[in-house]
Structure 1
Amino acid sequence: MTLRFIGIDPNTGDDESPTVWVDQEKGELVFQGWKPGAELEAECAAFEVPGHGRGIPEGEAVIRIPARMVGMIREACDVVERAAVR
């Protein structure tokens, strides 16, 4: 796996580190964030989207990332898009 580090939450402390990377090999965004807590995770799991089952499939997770990291997420999207065009 070829991870490209994009950024870490600038307000993070030593014990927390929401982070954004790009997996350049697979063309995917990779996020590290906070666990959502049982209430939010249950709300996400109960959300219905046409054509999709309820719940959070095995191998998937709900995470929280602070809005102050939007610029980093945009940068990661740009990196993935540029690689896909080539």
Structure 2
Amino acid sequence: MSLRFIGIDPSSGTGESPTVWVDEAKGEIVFQGWLPSPELEAECGATEVPGHGKGIPEGEGVVRIPARMASMVREACDAVERTDVR
């Protein structure tokens, strides 16, 4: 796997490390974050929008990262857009 480290939450404490990477080989953004509360996971699973049915499909999950990491997410988006993989 060819993960490129983008950034880690600078305010996270020991053992808490929301992190952003880019998988350059696959052209994907990878997040490590906090597991959602059961209420948040249920709300995400209950939300239905066009092209997205209710529930969280097997093999998918919900993670949370703090808004203070928005610049890292933008950097990851820019990095993955520069890759030739698609």
What TM bracket, shorter-length normalisation? over 0.9
1:5 correspondence with 2:5: yes
RMSD: 1.2
Give the partner amino acid of 1:72: M
Contiguous gaps of at least 5 residues in structure 1 = none
Letter in 2 for 1:75: E
Q: What TM-score do the two structures reach when normalised by structure 1?
A: 0.94
- Provide the C-alpha distance between the structure 2 equivalents of 1:72 and 1:52, rounded to a whole number of angstroms: 26
Moved over 3 A (4+): none
Sequence identity of aligned pairs in percent? Answer: 74
Residues of 2 paired with 1:8 and 1:58: CA distance? 27
- SS for the counterpart of 2:14 is coil
> Number of residues paired by the alignment?
85
Aligned match of 2:53: 53
SS of match in other structure, 2:41: helix
TM-score by length of 2: 0.94
Cα deviation code 1:45-79 (max 9, x no counterpart): 00011233210000100111000000000000000
